[in-house]
């Protein structure tokens, strides 16, 4: 169901996102081997996802258009999301009960924020798949008698955690830190197995660094990584809601604007904050290990909110562990399945009432989320795909096209055109620019360094050649500016 829902939407329900163009191009750059390249070697993020893209392209073929490439890579993330659903069900079933596993699977399949995240060519879907797969292997070592080949599982978990870190460096915060905390609190497997898993994770990243050094790219790697760390710590705020340029928009207004789609997501996050307390204080070792994963994701996101670089996609790091924590905590509270023999504190009537209440909440959440999915399916949001098609059909290649500074990476979306940012009428006239692309929602919501009045002045008197009203960018418009201006 997870795979079906995402495939149904991947090419029509979510408009082009700026980073998708960059990450898709990075995947294409390694099809013939070598390091990822985007105007030179790219080391801001690890290469794991980009090599995965290259392998996927060899299987699926090489599309002829930009949007074809992006849709193909979106399909890859849909497959990863389906695999993530399997891992979540198995992990939750092991930690709690088959019923809890089924609840997690159903919630993840139609969770609106997860769907949108999985249907974009971004790194978080792949990173969380490897993280959760690593925990599925690692937690199999908890609460079992020592066996001869346990070290193989510890190494396997470390390999998955290493790939997660090579997908996006934040993976280390969701893997090494919870494992280290679990070792100190004695909530994980035997200490030597935890140490072996952490050592394997570090070794994977160290091997990547050794290859970079051997090929003479260490200085470029160091520049990219230090820039990335500065962004993560918030020392440099170039993007996101905390952006120092003032083009990150308002987090509060964004949350309010999207509550119609993600109201159940917000509610789930609030419930997870309470559920993790139940897991940490009443759970067994395995469940508490999952609680530590949730805490690591929560601390990472909280830091991003107040001090670091906060971007919408970061929320996925917390949503996935939340989906696991809530049913595990509910099972503990209700004394179900695996814990039925130990939890006889409440009366049968109280337990039945609790089960009925949680069942009703689950039904409501699934119903609301399914309704959101139907709305997204029935209302396409594909403005940039149509814009690119219109431009390539009606405007000669090489023509200058202006875009509002701070908007989507239009220059990469239209590589055969001279796309640039001209912020005055004089600059537009000097560059002989006759066409201007504006995404009015990004301007109105403060994601541009120009005010709506300033943009309106730039396009005043222009003729609307193309217009599309969508959820992502509001009204996406291509203007033809008056001649001689």
Q: What is the pLDDT of residues 243-287, one digit of tens each?
A: 554 445 566 777 777 888 899 999 999 999 999 999 999 999 999
Summarize the confidence of residues 360-375 as an average pLDDT: 93
Residue 472 pLDDT exceeds 90:
no
pLDDT(464) > 80: yes
The mean-pLDDT minimum among 117-121, 405-409, 422-426 falls in 405-409
Residue 85 to residue 80: CA distance in whole angstroms: 9
Q: Which sequence spans correspond to the domains of the chain?
A: 2-378, 383-480
pLDDT of the residue at 378: 92
pLDDT of residue 339: 45
Both tokens of residue 319?
A: 């949503």
Res. 416 pLDDT band, cuts 50 70 90? confident
Sheet hosting strand 463-470, strand order edge to edge = 418-420, 400-403, 435-439, 474-480, 463-470
Residues 6+ apart with CB under 8 A from 344: 335
Angle at 476 between CA 258 and CA 449, to 5 degrees: 75
CA 150/CA 142 separation, integer angstroms: 11
CATH of 383-480, one of 2.40.300, 3.40.190, 2.60.40, 3.40.50: 3.40.190
CA dihedral 329, 319, 270, 472 (to 10 degrees): -150
Confidence of residue 234 (pLDDT cuts 50, 70, 90): low
Average pLDDT over residues 195-208: 97
Beta carbons within 8 Å of 388's beta carbon, 6+ residues apart: 65, 66, 67, 413, 414
Query: Does residue 158 carry a pLDDT above 90?
Result: yes
> Which has the higher per-residue pLDDT, 256 or 106?
106
pLDDT at 348 over 90: no
How many CA atoms lie within 13 Å of 190's alpha carbon, on the beta-carbon side? 11
Tokens 């009960």 locate to: 97
Residue-level length of the chain:
485
The pair of structure tokens assigned to 356 is 């009925």
Of residues 444 and 47, more confidence is placed in 47
Looking at per-residue pLDDT, the higher value among 342 and 130 belongs to 130
Q: What was the pLDDT predicted at 44?
A: 86
463 pLDDT exceeds 60?
Answer: yes
* 158 contacts 197 by C-beta, under 8 angstroms: yes
The pLDDT tens digits of the residues spanning 16-64 come to 988 898 899 999 999 988 999 988 889 889 999 999 999 999 999 999 8
Decide: 452 and 444 in contact? Cβ < 8 Å: yes
- What is the bridge-based pairing of β-strands 435-439 and 418-420? unpaired
pLDDT at residue 445 in the model: 78
Mean pLDDT score of the chain: 87
Q: Which of 178, 142, 136, 172 is closest to 157 using CA atoms?
A: 136
Sequence-distant (≥ 6) Cβ neighbours of residue 438 within 8 angstroms: 403, 404, 407, 455, 459, 476, 477, 479
Distance between CA 275 and CA 151 in Å, rounded? Answer: 32
CA-based diameter of the chain, in Å? 83
Of the listed ranges 57-71, 180-194, 292-306, 458-472, the one predicted with least confidence? 292-306
Classify 466 as helix, strand or coil. Answer: strand
Checking if the pLDDT of 346 tops 60, the result is no
Residue 65's pLDDT is what? 84
Closest C-alpha among 92, 67, 34 to residue 331? 92
């Amino acid at each position: 169901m997870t795979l079906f829902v995402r495939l149904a939407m991947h090419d029509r329900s979510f408009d082009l996102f700026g980073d998708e163009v960059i990450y898709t191009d990075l995947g294409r750059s390694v099809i013939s081997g070598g390091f990822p390249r985007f105007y030179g070697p790219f080391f801001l993020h690890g290469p794991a996802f980009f090599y995965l893209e290259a392998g996927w392209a060899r299987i699926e073929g090489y599309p002829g258009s930009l949007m074809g490439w992006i849709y193909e890579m979106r399909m890859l993330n849909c497959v990863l999301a389906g695999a993530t659903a399997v891992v979540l069900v198995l992990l939750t079933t092991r930690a709690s009960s088959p019923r809890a596993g089924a609840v997690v699977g159903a919630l993840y399949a139609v969770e609106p924020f997860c769907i949108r995240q999985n249907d974009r060519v971004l790194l978080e879907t792949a990173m969380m798949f490897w993280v959760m797969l690593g925990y599925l292997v690692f937690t199999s070592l908890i609460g079992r008698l020592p066996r001869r080949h346990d070290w193989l599982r510890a190494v396997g978990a470390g390999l998955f955690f290493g790939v997660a870190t090579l997908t996006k460096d934040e993976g280390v915060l969701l893997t090494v830190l919870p494992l280290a905390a679990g070792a100190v609190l004695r909530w994980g497997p035997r200490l030597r197995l935890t140490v072996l898993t952490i050592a394997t994770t570090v070794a994977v990243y160290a091997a990547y660094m050794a290859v970079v050094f051997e090929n003479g790219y260490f200085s470029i790697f160091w520049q990219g990584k230090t820039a990335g760390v500065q962004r993560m710590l918030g020392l440099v705020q170039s993007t996101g809601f905390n952006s120092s340029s003032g083009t990150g928009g308002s987090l509060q207004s964004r949350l309010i604007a999207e509550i119609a789609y993600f109201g159940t997501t917000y509610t789930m996050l609030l419930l997870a904050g309470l559920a993790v307390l139940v897991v940490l204080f009443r759970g067994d070792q395995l469940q508490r290990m999952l609680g530590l994963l949730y805490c690591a994701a929560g601390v990472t996101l909280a830091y991003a909110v107040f001090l670091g670089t906060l971007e919408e996609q970061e929320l996925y790091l917390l949503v996935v562990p939340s989906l696991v924590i809530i049913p595990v905590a509910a099972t503990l509270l209700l004394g179900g399945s695996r814990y039925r023999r130990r939890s006889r504190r409440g009366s049968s009537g109280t337990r039945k009432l609790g089960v009925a209440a949680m069942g009703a909440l689950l039904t409501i959440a699934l119903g609301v989320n399914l309704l959101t999915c139907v709305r997204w399916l029935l209302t396409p949001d594909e403005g940039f795909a149509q814009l690119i098609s219109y431009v390539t059909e009606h405007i000669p290649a090489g023509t200058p096209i202006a875009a509002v500074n701070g908007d989507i990476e239009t220059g990469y979306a239209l590589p055969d055109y001279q796309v640039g940012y001209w912020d005055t009428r004089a600059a537009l006239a000097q560059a002989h620019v006759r066409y201007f692309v504006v995404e009015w929602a990004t301007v109105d919501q403060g994601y541009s360094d120009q005010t709506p009045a300033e943009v309106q002045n730039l396009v005043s008197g222009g003729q609307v050649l193309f217009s599309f009203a969508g959820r992502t960018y509001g009204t996406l418009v291509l203007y033809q500016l008056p001649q001689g201006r």
